[in-house]
Every structure is written in C-alpha cells, then in structure tokens.
Copies of this chain bind each other. A is one copy, B any other.
Amino acid sequence: MQSIPGNQVLDAEGLDAADPLRSMRDQFELPEGVIYLNGNSLGPLPRATKARMAEVVEQEWGAGLIRSWNNAGWVDLPQRIGSMIAPLVGAESDEVIVADSTSVNLFKLIHAGLKLNAGRTKVVTELGNFPTDLYVLQGVERDTAIKLCAVPREQILDVIDEDTALVVLTHVHYKSGEMFDLKAVTDLAHSVGALILWDLSHSTGAVPVALSAAGVDLALGCGYKYLNGGPGAPSFLYVAKRHQDHFEQPLTGWFGHAQPFAMSDQFEPAVGMTRALCGTPPVLGCVALEEGVRLVREVDMAEVRRKSIALSEFFIEQVETRLIQFGFELASPRESDRRGSQISLRHPEAYPIMQALIAAGVIGDFRAPDILRFGFAPLYTRFVDVEQAVCQLEHVMLSQGWRDPQFQVRAAVT
C-alpha cells in the first residue's frame, strides 16, 4: 500500500489504474507467466521492433541491397538516432551520436578528454565502478602516461584536485543503484579545472538527465537497457558543443571522415559528432535501437521518474513488511533522490535465492557476491508485478527449495 497526494491509500491494482504511463506496457512483447524486473540489464522487445526488423531485413537489405545505404537512410542512422536520444539526456540534437559499444566509446572519450585537458595526467574514478569502465581506464593507464586514481565512493570528492585531467564516473551504480548528484560533482570537477565524463548506462531512459544544464563535458550510455534497443545494441556518446571543434579521438576510421566516400588517402575529421564514428555503422543493431528510443520519446521523463520512484518505494515497503525477517538488507540508498531505477537487496544466499526466484517466473539478477537486483522500468512494469515479485520471493524463502544441494548444483550450471 502506498499513500499518494490527497491521502488516498491505493493497493497495487489501484496504483496501476491511476498510472498515466499504463498504456505503454502494450507496446512491448512480454512473455506470459514472467515478471520481468531486469530491464536495467536488457530491455524487452518493443512490439514495433518485430515488424521493423522484418522490414529492414527483407525490404531494405533483401530487396534494396546496397542502394539502401542512401535510399533507406542507413548512412545517417548514427546521427538520426543520436538526435533522438539527445533530449532524453538534456542535450542538443547535434551533441549525441550512436556508434560501437559502450566500452569502445569509453575508450574514445577518455582519450579525447585527456587531449582536451592536456598537461594534466590524473584520472579519477570509483573503485567498484562498472567493470568495463575500470578495465578500459586501466588499459589507457597501461599504454599512456596517465595516473589512474580509483577510490571508494566516499573519497571521490576529496581526490579531485588541480592535477586531475578527467573524472570518469557512472551516474547510477550498476550494483547498488546509488545515483550521484550529476550537477554537483560536475561543478566540483570544473572548480579545479578537471573535465568530467559521465557513464549514463544505468540512467538513460529511466532517470532524467540534464547534460547541457549541468555543463557536462563528455558522456555516453548504453542502448540495450532502458532504451530497449536489443541485445548488444550500439551505444551513444555525447560531446558538449563547446568541445566539438577540439575533440580528437584515436579511432580514426572512415565513417569519421569529413567525406568518407571521396576515398581520399588522408584522414580529415568530420565536423561535429560525426568524427566520433569509426567503422561502418551496424545497421541491424541501429534499426532495433531506433525503435526502442522511439518508444521512450513518447513519454515525459519527469513522469517516468515519478513512476520509477513510486514503484521502488512500493517495493521497499513490501520488502520491509514481508522479507526483512528472512535476512534481506536494502543495498540501495533509502532516499529516493539518491537512487536510479533499481533496488538491490543483500543476502548471504543471494545466488541460489535468485535462481529459485527466476525458476518461479520472476526475473531479476544476481551480482557477486551477495546482491539481488530488481530493475523497475516504468514503461512496462506494473505495481501488481512488484507485489507479485515480493510475494514469490516470500514463497521462495518459505519453501526453502533453494537450500537443496541438488537445486544449487543445477542452478550453478545454467
């Protein structure tokens, strides 16, 4: 039960009935018998994507063949989808482009950021950041003169100093769901002359982000989580307009050239975000991402955030009422303005418990060593889903099937 303004108390059905986003769920293909709370890892299939993928495969590729690079607009997909994502992160349409994977784009932006702040060598990041962020930074440290300073969250603000070239942080933490104050940290970095690169993978499409208003320098995000772009969807990257003329990234492939089809021998970077491209765009992945982004653009991000908080609060209330007795602890911040759109619980037996919960049709996920993650994607998650998920988790704890060694062996190999 949850109080809403006017002191009404609504149950899950009542909250769903009052949800202004409730019609969006019909736009997704969600399998029967499954409660999907893992859209923070892989968003589900939008209905429109099914038909659009058949069209791009059969009509554009099959019938159009090479002509579709121009006739079907394949050649502009990176810019077109970038401009569609831009308002979701508070950027101008020519500040965002779609390309490659998040990890590859991280590499580009880290190198570009170091050049934009040449002379400084320290790069600050968080221990326990999403692994690929740390790994890409460690690769850059191995191969260049930078000094990586990876510290626990509570020390980050203290180590950003006048030696710092670049701060690389993830806005919403993949494991805990904890959210940085994007504007405050950006301001702090700028106050000592550091640049900032935000990884928005766990924010975009679920949490409003205002890159321009916060004066952010560089950012990037993931296409396959809350943007519902499909497994391994291309990523997007953002460079503030004031940096674009001086933006120089190391992966100088032909799609980043000012005139790729002039086929000249000499690289000349394109104007604007196009120079962030490298190779030929992955058309099938781009087309699926475009459909996912189109859906998110239909809704008001402020409304999305309100529902995300309401779903999360509803979940926490249910957990506190029905699950604390089983040894669960909240691993996400209790204050809603310090969280993204997921709630993580801690339990020493998290792995087999999550396996049992998935077997019961509630899909969250496990993160080592002891975290159960539940994502609340406001476009398709209902309050009744949250209620049933807690109900199933309670049932799992009472039935204790996950304690069976045979279940644990089976779970470990799947």
Contact = CB atoms under 8 A, between A and B. Distances in A.
Interface string A211-251: 00000000000001000001111110000000000000011
Most buried by B among A74, A106, A250, A365: A250
A143 interface: yes
Contacts of A299: none
A354 to B, nearest CB: 12
A278 B138 contact: no
Interface in A40-64: 41-42, 44-45, 49-50, 53-54, 57-58, 60-63
Pick the 10 closest A-B CB pairs, nearest first.
Answer: A101-B279, A103-B253, A139-B252, A103-B279, A231-B283, A132-B254, A45-B62, A135-B267, A232-B282, A232-B283
Contact of A65 (B31, B233, B367): B31
Contacts of A284: 53, 230-232, 284-285, 288
A383 to B, nearest CB: 20
Given A45-B57, A252-B135, A363-B66, A279 B104 contact: yes
A44 B57 CA distance: 10
Nearest to A281: B232
A261 B101 CA distance: 17
Contacts of A253: 101, 103-104, 106-107, 132, 135-136
Given A104-B104, A104-B278, A279-B102, A45 B66 contact: no
A114 to B, nearest CB: 10
A186 interface: no
Contact of A280 (B34, B68, B232): B232
A42 B72 CA distance: 15
Given A31-B65, A42-B66, A231-B69, A367 B263 contact: yes
Interface in A57-85: 57-58, 60-63, 65-71, 74
Interface string A368-406: 100000000000000000000000000000000000000
A262 interface: yes
Given A31-B63, A42-B66, A107-B253, 7 more contacts: A31-B65, A61-B231, A66-B363, A70-B414, A74-B232, A102-B280, A224-B280
A36 interface: yes
Report the copy number of this chain in the oligomer: 2
A210 interface: no
Contact of A263 (B61, B131, B264, B278): B131
B62 A58 contact: no
A39 B44 CA distance: 34
A57 B66 contact: no
A14 interface: no
Given A232-B280, A283-B231, A66 B38 contact: yes
Interface in A76-134: 100-104, 106-107, 111, 127-128, 131-132, 134
A335 interface: no
Contacts of A368: 261-263
A58 B50 contact: yes
Contacts of A278: 101, 103-104, 107
A260 interface: yes
Interface centre among A106, A134, A280 (most CB of B within 10 A): A280
A265 interface: yes
B74 A231 contact: yes
A8 interface: no
A150 B264 CA distance: 13
